[in-house]
A and B are shown apart, each in its own frame.
Chain A
Amino acid sequence: MTALIEVQGVSKRYGAFTALDDVTLSLSDTQPSMTAIAGESGSGKTTLARMMLGFIDPSAGGVFYRGKDLATMSPGEKRQFRREVQPVFQDPFEVFNPFYHIDHVLVTPVKRYRLADSKSKAQALIEDALKSVGLRPQDTLGRFPHELSGGQRQRIMVARAVLLRPKLIVADEPVSMVDASLRATILDELRTLNRELGISIVYITHDLTTAFQICDNIVVLYRGTVAEAGAVEQVIGAPKHPYSQLLVSSIPLPDLDKAWGGEEIPVTEANAARRNDGCKFAPRCPHVMDMCWQAPPPKFMPDSQRLATCYLYRDAPVSPDPDCAAVFRPPVEAVARITQQV
């Protein structure tokens, strides 16, 4: 089976700084999936996203789209890749040129990829794409970006991606600049695209709550390495790696029975100076052991749908496959969309 997209042992170095260190991840070609990539700023999640989009080249390793290396693709293959793998960016304000009607971002790809042979067909395509993200074409087309809210602009970017009937959408923090009350709606649209149009989605985020709600599987990155990966129910529901545990316990939940508690997370700057050839999280880890400083921990599998690169689980088997997706669970069928009854 060739993967839809596969990053194979990729690293990215900027001078002495390593943004991403030997990450392997593949997405299924046969089953549309929703995968979250999570981590704090500087964890390498955006670097990984930009690599999947072909915006930057890895320093080591390769990115393969349907078995073909991005680095050696022919111009025709590259063009098809560019059409089938679409980005949605974080900032719904900066992606628009304020002097053009918003139509511009929709008409351009139609022309560029010759999606329609007549003006009326182009118009119909654009209107369909807008409707698929819950926008009314008559209220949207012909407007300037400043006349629309951040949430509406972000939906237009999703519509633009949908227009090209992509196989994969890489969404980098698509809702972090959108109001909490609108986030749910936009994320639900992404899930609908996944379920109904069979588009695979990579959701880059630092918000584990929304990742849990919409994704099947998650990869938690820390300083460019995979800390934990697997089914969201395992990794977010019952995290094993001390870093994922820290992330999950820091989520501000609107539930007073799950208070943060008064304890301050120790800022251990003393440990930061220690020579570390091992786990990148060691200086901050509450469970740090001597072995953690010696060599990077391998991918232990504390259970079948998760891996954790942490010596606390050294009694568990080591994953034979470098690919994080080896422990992914298959996507579940759509839950009933309206389950909430008050």
Chain B
Amino acid sequence: MATRTSSDPVLVVDKLSVHYQTSKGPAKAVNEVSFSLRPGERLGLIGESGSGKTTMGTALMRLTRPPGRIVSGSIMLDGRDLMTLSAGELREARLRDIALIPQGAMSALNPVMRLEEQMIDAIIAHRPGMRRAELVARVVELLRNVGLAPEVARRYPHELSGGMKQRAAMAIATSLSPKVIIADEPTSALDVVVQRQVMQTLGRLQDGLGAAVVLIGHDMGLIAQFADTVGVMYAGRLVEIGPVRQMIKSPKHPYTKLLVDSLPGIEVKQALTGIPGLPPPLVDLPPGCSFNPRCPFAFDRCRRETPLLLDAGPDQFAACHLYPEHSTLPPIPARVYQEALP
């Protein structure tokens, strides 16, 4: 696990909101999300489908496309606000300062280009002066960093396995030594053994570069194995963020607790528990806390007032009206788990 550095944050996201324009009004996919990342830090962003985590990752690259739109907020990358950059400046910043490892690298690679040419294309766009021999040497080095043999450079994407393609996407993302790497479910299509290899490769690369990583996913187990900080998204909002150990051992938000409990282990057989109910539609959020219709502890204030992300323990923040009155999350009543069953 990477140690936390005390240096200044490399990425500061402040009150970022991304809406999708729909016929029923704006869908608030990302709703006033704020967080910061220090160099070398690993943030795991977790949420159900539709919680806004992928929209978040795309927005951090400023790759949001209509009908999506970043409506407010700022993304400070190493002291520069990405929101104020021109198209040309953005093109330069992407890959060089902030890079994306997309979900499903299979469809991110150009099927009719050899890997080497795709990698050179990306590098030369930023370093027009580099000579061919240097570029080829750089490609070999990048491939070696992700555990691929030099001859892989001459292959086409269809000649690579899923794990190799994901590694190739990683080699491209790190080709200009970015300060921040966004990894959007990089292993969702891979089986467990390859998943572990790919994640360990990402970890090594990151340690070498000293880059910060945002890992987006829905598997708490994977996030726990990789991240030092975990952020939980629900219906577009960041509802809890804190150090990984505390988030698993003593989650403060009821949603985080239910999410952690829904994961079975391999020690004892236990009743499988889900989370009762469904997330609200993003165009029609309930008043107050978005989680209140599913929350076992909801009281009047939760139905009126949206909770802010506030201190709920050392380095741990939760958007929940239970705090600061309570110091820990009360036990979840057994009936909640029963309701989640047929």
Contacts and interface: CB of A to CB of B under 8 A. Distances in A.
Contacts of A256: 224, 244-245, 248
A248 B266 contact: yes
A265 B337 contact: no
A265 B265 contact: no
Contact of A340 (B197, B223, B259, B334): B334
A251 B271 contact: no
Contacts of A340: 261, 270-271, 273, 334, 337
B264 A212 contact: yes
Contact of A253 (B147, B258, B266, B342): B266
B202 interface: no
Contacts of B225: 252-253, 259-260
Interface stretch (A103-111, A114-122, A181-189, A300-308): A181-189
Contacts of A208: 192, 266
Contacts of B266: 208-209, 212, 236-237, 248, 251, 253
Interface in A256-303: 256, 259-260, 262, 264-265, 267, 269
A184 B260 CA distance: 12
Contacts of B223: 254
B192 A206 contact: yes
A16 interface: no
A260 to B, nearest CB: 5
Contact of B224 (A212, A255, A341): A255
A205 B79 CA distance: 46
Contacts of B274: 181-185, 188
B271 A336 contact: yes
Given A206-B192, A250-B195, A180 B262 contact: yes
B340 A185 contact: yes
A150 interface: yes
A188 B200 contact: no
A interface secondary structure, majority: loop
B278 interface: yes
Nearest to A337: B271
A339 B191 contact: no
Contacts of B340: 184-185
Interface string B244-287: 11001000000000111111111001111111001000000000
A252 B192 CA distance: 8
Contacts of B334: 338, 340-342
Interface stretch (B33-41, B130-138, B213-221, B309-317): B213-221
A184 B264 contact: yes
A322 interface: no
Chain B interface residue number, banded: 35 or more
Given A134-B342, A338-B337, A180 B270 contact: no
Contacts of A269: 149
A192 interface: yes
Contacts of B149: 269
A339 to B, nearest CB: 5
Contact of A338 (B275, B331, B338): B338
B162 interface: yes
Contact of A41 (B191, B196, B200, B222): B191
Contacts of A10: none
A252 B196 contact: yes
Nearest to B279: A149
B218 A265 contact: no
A247 interface: yes
B241 to A, nearest CB: 17
Nearest to A151: B278
B332 A342 contact: yes
Nearest to A192: B342
A179 interface: yes
Contacts of A209: 221, 263-266
B125 interface: no
21 contacts: A41-B162, A133-B342, A180-B262, A182-B275, A184-B340, A188-B274, A206-B192, A208-B192, A208-B266, A209-B265, A212-B269, A252-B221, A252-B225, A253-B224, A254-B223, A254-B263, A255-B248, A265-B196, A338-B271, A342-B261, A342-B332
Given A132-B342, A207-B192, A256-B244, 12 more contacts: A41-B191, A191-B272, A236-B266, A246-B193, A248-B266, A255-B248, A256-B245, A259-B225, A265-B196, A267-B197, A338-B338, A338-B341
Per CB-CB distance, the 7 closest pairs between chain A and chain B, nearest first, are: A134-B342, A185-B274, A252-B221, A184-B272, A40-B191, A252-B222, A250-B196
